[in-house]
Amino acid sequence: MQGPCRINTVSTNFFGEGALSLLPAEIKKYGYQTALVITDKFLYDSGVAGDVCNKLSEANVHSYIYNGVLPNPTTDIINECLSIAYEIKPEFIVALGGGSAIDTCKAVGIVLANGGNIEDYEGINKSKNKSLPIVAINTTAGTGSEVTTFYIITDKKRSSKMVMVDTNCMVSIAVNDAALMRSMPKSLTAATGMDAMTHAVEAILSKEATPFTDKDAVWAIRTIREYLPRAATNGEDMEARNMMAYAQYAAGIAFSNAGLGMVHAMAHALGGYYNLPHGLCNAVLLPHVMQYNGRDKSVQERFRLIYDALGLKGTDYFIPYRSMVESINDIKKLSEQLGIPERLSDLKVNKDDFEALAGLAVKDACMSTNAREASLQDIITVYDKAY
Ligand SMILES: [Fe+2]
């Protein structure tokens, strides 16, 4: 029987195609006048950021745009964005984009409310005050960052990712409008979708999984397995886009409250070192870490939930070891179907770096909830197997 636990979710959410149109009426309730919209160059050049500013002006909000967000946002980006925020003094900040924009926004919001530098907040619940209010308009499916207590910033000096887990960083309003996800190319749809799948799998295998997080993680796996291949094959399939928006959100709630594990710890190290897409690193590592964790008999039992959620049918469900093997095979099949590279060697990763990478991964905050203990050597072995 599990002890008492805390569950965090976002209080106001807008979902579905066209959900952005519901935002102005909500913003009006707060009486804000100034916002900083934090986004990337693509969303700025394609006019989406302008559309968002128009929506904000319907709520009588004057907005400024920062469009310098890049994948795997760095401390330099946070500092650049902060210097603009100090000047314009926004009452709230708006993230427009995927995990990188939302994580940048969380970092900026925490520093604005607490002072100091972003490096001061690495770790678990390091801030004192709640972030400046954040509106997250999500355009990928995804990181689930709009609903989690997590954000990740790359420390350029150390070439490593800082993991922040902080209940003060949670956004106030989340928008998951499938229409904004329509233009994602196949490779981004596949990689971000597999990130969400990894969140759900790691949440189920986490040491801190609860019936609440299992419920969301199981539904997320089932939905991603069904709709991700459709969304990746045909970006205009709005039913698939919409279901992926819900699924990645459910996976986000699951991992935000259960924690992650060794896939993310190892992927953070890879992403920080080589500036590789987060979802791609997870997708390549996921079957190998499942295999590592599944060698523990008590963890094998948990694979029955994953087996069932993947829609696998058969008597293997009753044999934990078999349900683990079949779940891993199905995850590999899904990645292949999505055109995701199979091995780390395909990502131009250098084998000589494995010891350094494992050194970063073993200290990553996500390791604390991994299903099974892992030494430095264990992690090097998993990198080797994935190579
Ligand atoms: Fe992730």
What's the CA-to-centroid distance between 366 and ligand 1, angstroms? Answer: 11
Q: How far apart are alpha carbons 95 and 43 in whole angstroms?
A: 11
Cα 71 to ligand 1 centre (Å)? 13
Q: In angstroms, what is the span from residue 135 Cα to ligand 1's centroid? A: 20
Do 151 and 258 belong to one domain?
no
Same domain flag for 212 and 328: yes
* Domain final position from 162, 181, 200: 181
The residues facing 151 across adjacent strands are 164
Please give the distance, rounded to the nearest whole angstrom, from the Cα atom of residue 150 to the centre of ligand 1.
10
For residue 279, the CA-to-ligand 1 centroid distance in Å is: 6
For residue 139, report the distance from its CA to the centre of ligand 1, in Å: 15
Look up the CATH number of the domain holding residue 282. Answer: 1.20.1090.10
Side chain identity at residue 193, one-letter code: G
Same-domain check for residues 146 and 26: yes
- Rounded to the nearest angstrom, the distance between the alpha carbon of 280 and the centre of ligand 1 is 10
Whose tokens are 């935000």? That residue is 256
Backbone angles phi, psi at 373, to 5 degrees: -65, 150
Signed CA dihedral, 302, 305, 306, 312: sign only: positive
Q: Rounded to two decimals, what is the model's pTM?
A: 0.96
**How remote is the CA of residue 223 from the centroid of ligand 1, in Å?**
17
Contacts of 180 (CB under 8 A, 6+ apart): 20, 48, 137, 138, 139
CA of residue 82 to ligand 1 center, whole Å: 25
Distance 214 CA to ligand 1 centre (A): 17
Same domain membership, residue 162 and residue 116: yes
Please name the amino acid found at residue 105: C
Any domain includes 123? yes
CA–CA separation, 168 vs 223, rounded Å?
A: 30
Ligand 1 centroid to residue 88 C-alpha, Å: 32
DSSP label at 202? H
- Ligand 1 centroid – CA 142 distance (Å): 8
One domain, residues 271 and 372: yes
Spacing, Cα 248 to ligand 1 middle (Å): 10
Centre of ligand 1 to C-alpha 117, Å, is 24
Which pLDDT score, from 0 to 100, does residue 249 have? 98
- As a whole number of angstroms, the distance between CA 59 and CA 56 comes to 5
Inter-residue contact 140 to 192 (CB < 8 Å): yes
Rounded CA-CA distance 304/21 in Å is: 41
DSSP string computed for 246-278 = HHHHHHHHHHHHH---HHHHHHHHHHHHH---H
Q: Please tell me whether residues 147 and 42 are part of one structural domain.
A: yes
Assigned domain for 69 exists: yes
Comparing CA positions, the residue from 79, 104, 86 lying closest to residue 94 is 104
Question: How much distance in Å is there from the Cα of 152 to the middle of ligand 1?
Answer: 9
Beta-bridged to residue 15, according to DSSP, are: 176
* 3-state class (DSSP) for residue 54: helix
Cα 271 to ligand 1 centre (Å): 11
Report the separation in Å between the CA atom of 83 and the middle of ligand 1, taken as the mean of its atom positions.
Answer: 28
Q: What is the pLDDT of residue 156?
A: 85
C-alpha of residue 191 to centroid of ligand 1, in Å: 10
Full pLDDT tens readout for the chain, 387 residues: 578 889 999 989 999 999 999 999 999 999 999 999 999 999 999 999 999 999 999 999 999 999 999 999 999 999 999 999 999 999 999 999 999 999 999 999 999 999 999 999 999 999 999 999 999 999 999 899 999 999 999 998 888 899 999 999 999 999 999 999 999 999 999 999 999 999 999 999 999 999 999 999 999 999 999 999 999 999 999 999 999 999 999 999 999 999 999 999 999 999 999 999 999 999 999 999 999 999 999 999 999 999 999 999 989 889 999 999 999 999 999 999 999 999 999 999 999 999 999 999 999 999 999 999 999 999 999 999 999
Is 40 in the same domain as 95? yes
300 lies in which domain range? 189-386
3-state secondary structure of 74: strand
For residue 138, give the H/E element and its range.
strand 134-138
Written as one letter, the residue type at 329 is: N
User: What separation in Å is there between the alpha carbon of 264 and the centre of ligand 1?
Assistant: 6
Long-range contacts: 206-209, Cβ < 8 Å, 24+? 206/255, 206/258, 206/259, 206/260, 206/261, 206/369, 206/370, 206/371, 207/259, 207/368, 207/369, 207/370, 207/371, 208/5, 208/257, 208/258, 208/259, 208/369, 209/258, 209/302
Domain match, 36 and 133 both: yes
Q: Is 123 left (phi over 0), alpha (psi -120 to 50) or beta?
A: left
Phi then psi for residue 159, to 5 deg, are 50, 40
What is the 167 CA–ligand 1 centroid distance (Å)? 17
What CA–CA distance (Å, rounded) separates 199 from 282? Answer: 9
End position of a domain, from candidates 181, 209, 224: 181
Same domain assignment for residues 159 and 198: no
CA atoms within 13 A on the CB side of 226: 17
Q: What does residue 138 show for φ and ψ, rounded to 5 degrees?
A: -85, 135
CA of 151 relative to ligand 1 center, distance in Å: 10
pLDDT at 3: 80
Contact partners, residue 240, CB within 8 Å, separation at least 6: 227, 228, 230, 231, 234
Ligand 1 mean position, distance from CA 263 (Å): 9
Q: How far is the CA of 110 from the centre of ligand 1 (A)?
A: 20
Q: Alpha-carbon distance 380 to 278, whole Å?
A: 19
Taking the C-alpha atoms of residue 193 and residue 126, their distance in angstroms, rounded to an integer, is 30
| Domain-embedded: residue 3 | no
Query: In angstroms, rounded to a whole number, what is the distance separating the alpha carbons of residues 169 and 130?
Result: 7
Residue 70 shares a structural domain with residue 167:
yes
Q: How far is the CA of 202 from the centre of ligand 1 (A)?
A: 10
Q: Does residue 215 lie in a domain region? A: yes
Neighbours of 309 (CB within 10 A): 22
Q: Which amino acid is at 50?
A: G
The answer to whether residue 5 sits within a structural domain is no
Last residue of a domain, one of 181, 206, 240: 181
Residues 6+ apart with CB under 8 A from 158: 272
**pLDDT for residue 214:** 98
CATH number of the domain at 29, please: 3.40.50.1970
User: How far apart are alpha carbons 271 and 260 in whole angstroms?
Assistant: 16
